Amino acid sequence: MESDNPIGEPDNQQGRLEAYLSGFVDGEGTFSVGVTRRPDLEFGFQLVPEFRVSQNTERASVLEILRNELGCGRIVENDRHRRNDRAMVLVVRRRSDLIARVVPFFDRNPLLSDKRRSYETFREIVTAMAAGRHHQRASFEELVRMAFTMNGEGRYRKWRLSDVISNQNPQRLHAEPSTRESR
């Protein structure tokens, strides 16, 4: 049997596994940034970046392999309230894991479909949040606008862009100035 490796060098098994997992995520994964109402926060809303990949229970072992490769995330039932939903999902929300593990993995193993644009926007938002930019009003609004360009241009969101951007959070208007910017 002939080999693609005629000089006997070891195959790059790790590279192949990462490429396979990247392709799997290209088909079954999502990079999203949710917008959640949080009256206790300065701007009244919170950005929640999330990476998730789903798979039917019978083939959920690939989620374990991906979690092991990334070194982070949790695997849970997709929707416990729907009897006919038998999917499992790998979820990563911890920002430090997104920055240190998820982003470098997909920078090394680029997505090939149009999902790559969502990933690049996701990466930009997560990186900006890690730098604290979401604590400044103008930057927060910019990041929200970016999030609304992802995954269907915001048409599946609970909040409209104008609701989030125009929010003045009346509960915080008369509160003491935020000390976050001085950190």
Residue 132 lies in a domain: yes
Give per-residue pLDDT as tens, 83-125: 666 789 999 999 999 999 999 999 999 999 999 999 999 999 9
Give per-residue pLDDT as tens, 163-175: 777 765 545 444 4
Give how many domains the chain has, as a whole number: 1
Q: pTM, whole model, 2 decimals?
A: 0.79
- What's 34's DSSP letter? E
- Structural domain including 56 reads 13-166
CATH for 126: 3.10.28.10
Which residues of the chain form beta strands (DSSP E)?
Answer: 29-37, 45-56, 74-77, 87-92
Distances (CA, A) of 1 to 5, 7, 12: 11, 14, 19
Give per-residue pLDDT as tens, 136-154: 888 989 998 998 888 766 5
